[in-house]
């Protein structure tokens, strides 16, 4: 039973979501029912709404994959680019127009395999872009092939006998490459995701958020992990809040803000200093 207050609150929440959907776009979306991508999309909308960002100043850039289809549904300036290149395009958008809030939506195959080089260099530059990497451990759009985050031993259509490779830890990679805000969350933990995404977008510098998400259609089915809800349940059980001691974490995956560096200078700011000093020199 929901109380009136709860249903009013629910109504208001859904109105926020509706108001951010593209007016001309035909729905339903192309994702499988229950896909985690939709959960991330609604969380992103709440984060942007909470920050009160003017709609015209937000630019979404994505690559190729299921998650990269997100910007077509949201009423922002949007660039759906080529496989792996979203961060390189986004770097051009942001560096040319530092006044914009640039948010990249990408997946594990897009950002870590074909786009790995662009990812580490965007981290290194500490350019003020927020990257949301939706990690579902598999290539969904092309039908379930192994990705750089697929665990060793796991099944995919291209690892029919189990994955013989090691996987990347996306957050470790981003931190090691120089990202100044790194966080991990899951599609089970939506209140946390709302907070983490808002913090990431508000961060001045390169912010990286890995969202563990369910591709029940391929990863779940090929590895006999069950339905979408079973995968959400798994994210609940296998994760723990960041900051636990190794013992109390008990092998669970830490979620929350893993790294925050407020000292390192941001790329566009540094370049602007050069532009300003050169124009001063000209006047002088």
Partner 1 sequence: MSRPKRQLMMGNQACVQGALRAGLRFYAGYPITPSTEVTEGCARELPKTGGRFLQMEDEIGAISAVVGASVAGVKAMTATSGPGYSLMVENIGYAYMIEAPCVIVNVQRGGPSTGLPTKTSQSDTMQTRWGPHGDYTAIAVAPSTVADTVTETIRAFNLAERFRTPVTILLDEVIGHMQEMISLPEPGEYQVVDRVKPTCPPEEYEPYGSTDNFVNPMPAYGDGYRWYATGLTHDAMGFPTNRPDEIVVNLDKLRRKIEDFRDEICKVRADWMDDAEFALVSYGSVSRTALLATKLAREAGVKVGCLQLQTVWPFPLAQLRELLQDCTAVIVAELNMGQIVREVERVAPPQARVHSLLRYDGEILTPIQFLEKIEEVRS
Q: For partner 1, which residue of 9, 25, 227, 270 counts as binding (CB under 8 A)?
A: 25
Q: For partner 1, which residue of 6, 10, 55, 252 counts as binding (CB under 8 A)?
A: 55
Interacting residues of 119 by C-beta distance below 8 A, sequence separation 6+: 87, 111, 112, 131, 173, 174, 177
Q: Counting contacts by CB under 8 A, is residue 96 touching partner 1? A: yes
Q: For ligand SF4, which residue of 39, 47, 66, 104 counts as binding (CB under 6 A)?
A: 66
* Residue 140 or 220 having the CB closest to partner 1: 140
Q: For partner 1, which residue of 44, 70, 76, 185 counts as binding (CB under 8 A)?
A: 76
Q: For ligand SF4, which residue of 147, 217, 223, 239 counts as binding (CB under 6 A)?
A: 217
* Residue 16 or 32 having the CB closest to ligand SF4: 32
Rounded distance between C-alpha atoms, residue 38 and residue 50, angstroms:
18
Q: Which of residues 117-136 bind ligand SF4 (CB under 6 A)?
A: 136
* Residue 13 touches which member of ligand SF4, partner 1, none, C-beta under 5-8 Å by kind: none
* Residue 82 or 158 having the CB closest to partner 1: 82
Which tokens sit at 272?
Answer: 């602007």
Residues in binding contact with partner 1, number by CB under 8 A: 42
Contact status, residue 271 vs residue 128, Cβ threshold 8 Å: no
CB of 197 to partner 1, least distance (A): 20
Kindly report the length of the chain. Answer: 284
* Residue 89 touches which member of ligand SF4, partner 1, none, C-beta under 5-8 Å by kind: partner 1
Phi, psi of 81 (to 5 degrees): -100, -150
Rounded distance between C-alpha atoms, residue 19 and residue 266, angstroms:
32
Q: Which of 129, 174, 103, 119 is nearest to 268 (CA)?
A: 129
Piece in contact with partner 1 (CB under 8 A), picked from 78-86, 167-175, 199-207, 250-258: 78-86
Phi, psi of 203 (to 5 degrees): -65, 135
Rounded distance between C-alpha atoms, residue 29 and residue 70, angstroms:
9
Q: Which of residues 137-176 bind ligand SF4 (CB under 6 A)?
A: 140-141
**Beta-bridge partners for 239:** 253
Which tokens sit at 213?
Answer: 């998400």
Contact status, residue 228 vs residue 216, Cβ threshold 8 Å: yes
Catalog residues that contact partner 1 under the rule CB under 8 A.
22-26, 55-57, 59, 61, 71-72, 75-82, 85, 88-97, 99-100, 117-118, 121, 271, 274-275, 278-279, 282
């Amino acid at each position: 039973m929901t109380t009136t207050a709860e249903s009013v609150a629910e109504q208001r929440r859904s109105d926020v979501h509706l108001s951010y959907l593209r007016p001309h776009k035909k729905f339903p979306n192309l994702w499988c029912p229950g896909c985690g991508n939709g959960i991330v999309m609604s969380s992103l909308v709440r984060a942007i709404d909470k920050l009160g960002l003017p709609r015209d100043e937000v630019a979404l850039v994505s690559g190729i994959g299921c998650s990269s289809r997100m910007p077509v549904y949201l009423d922002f300036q949007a660039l759906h680019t080529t496989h792996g290149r979203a961060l390189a395009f986004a770097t051009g958008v942001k560096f040319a127009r530092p006044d914009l809030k640039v948010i990249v939506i990408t997946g594990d195959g897009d950002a870590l395999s074909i786009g790995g080089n662009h990812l580490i260099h965007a981290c290194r530059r500490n350019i003020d872009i927020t990257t949301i990497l939706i990690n579902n451990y598999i290539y969904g759009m092309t039908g379930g092939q192994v990705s750089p985050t697929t665990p060793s031993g796991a099944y995919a259509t291209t690892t029919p006998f189990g994955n013989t490779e090691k996987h990347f830890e996306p957050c470790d990679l981003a931190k090691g490459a120089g990202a100044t805000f790194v966080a991990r969350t899951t599609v089970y933990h939506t209140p946390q995701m709302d907070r983490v995404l808002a913090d990431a977008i508000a961060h001045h510098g390169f912010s990286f958020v890995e969202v563990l998400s369910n591709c029940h259609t391929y990863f779940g089915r090929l590895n006999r992990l069950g339905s979408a809800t079973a995968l959400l349940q798994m994210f609940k059980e296998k994760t723990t809040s960041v900051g636990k001691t190794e013992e109390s974490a008990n092998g669970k995956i830490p979620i929350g803000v893993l790294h925050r560096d407020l000292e390192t200078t941001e790329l566009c700011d540094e370049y602007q200093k050069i532009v300003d000093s050169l124009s001063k020199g000209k006047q002088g």
